Homo-oligomer: A and B are copies of this chain.
Amino acid sequence: MSILVVGSVALDTVETPFGRVEEALGGSAVYFSLAARLYAPVRLVAVVGEDFPAEHVALLHQHGVDVAGLERAAGPTFRWSGRYDFDLNSAETLDTQLNVFASFHPKMPPAYGDSEFLFMANIDPDLQREVLQQVPDTKLRALDSLKFWITIKPELLASAMSLVDIVLMNEAEARQFAGTHSLLRAARRILELGPRALIVKKGEYGAVLFSEYGYFVAPAYPLEDVRDPTGAGDSFAGGFLGFLARAGEITPRTLKQAIIHGSVVASFTVEDFSVERLRRVSWDEVRQRYEEFHHFTAFDAIV
């Protein structure tokens, strides 16, 4: 099944204790696409400016990502600059220049109309609703959000959530949105809005799935060296939805496997800056880490 992703394509300047990159390929739709392409055909909708390097577009295309929906607008590309301290769990944003992203309105190429899965990255909830109206026939819809939208557009975000099947958020966002420190209670409030499942991403601590089938928790894949956590959440979403699209059905079993795939793919992303590691990941590497993951976490069911 094909996956349509709507999100950002950016030029990121990132500094961590382990290095620095300037104006490197980034953005939620990029990380998602390069993760999900390991599992299923991916179609991208985003906007870049006149200054966006052609080599980045070529990279996406070479990795099987359909870039027919990548609009090139007048003006400079969206730029984000951030810094991570030794505690790599959260970024300090140094600068955000929305540029062409500020006036972005997603436009679906007609050929995207038959997309079966839809992922809306952490864009404005108003844009998420515009997207939903343009592709009403998707089989599975998922969205992510971020603190900024939770703070300034909580009602619109709640409304968008009510229209999707799966919500992905990080831990602090879920707590903020639901107004409670208890993650279980926050999850219940979010599921009451309508989605069938909520994935709470916990960075280096893994992820939790709350769904109509119950609860599932998975740690992150253990890594000796994390160089740059940028894109981990979107890569997770790409592995997660990518696996579900490949499996072709949403069951308790595939949802759990999808969480592990999300963690596995994200573990590659953070091993290097930008998409340097993610772009080189092979299916064999994914399979190997998945099997290691099982080995690291399985224990005897008998007390």
A261-292 with Cβ < 8 A to chain B: 286-287, 290-291
Name the one of B87, B218, B257, B303 contacting A297, with C-beta atoms under 8 angstroms.
B218
Contact A299 B219 (CB under 8 A): no
With both beta carbons as reference points, the residue of chain B lying nearest to A301 in the complex is identified as B294
A222: interface (CB < 8 Å): yes
B297 touches A297 (CB 8 A): yes
* Complex contacts, A260 vs chain B, CB 8 Å: 299
Measured CB to CB, the nearest residue on chain B to A215 is B296
Contact A219 B222 (CB under 8 A): no
A29-43 interface bits toward B, Cβ cutoff 8 Å, 1 = contact, 0 = none: 000000000000000
A216:B184 contact, CB within 8 angstroms? no
> Are A257 and B300 touching (Cβ within 8 A)?
yes
| Residues in B neighbouring A208, C-beta threshold 8 A | 219, 222
Determine if A111 is an interface residue (Cβ-Cβ < 8 Å).
no
> Which of B87, B184, B253, B259 is the one whose CB lies under 8 Å from A181?
B87
Contacts of A294 in B (CB 8 A): 299, 301
A218/B218 in contact, CB under 8 A: no
Given contacts A218-B297, A253-B300, A298-B298, 14 further A-B contacts (CB under 8 A): A87-B181, A184-B223, A184-B224, A205-B219, A208-B222, A214-B295, A217-B222, A217-B297, A256-B298, A257-B303, A287-B303, A294-B301, A297-B297, A297-B299
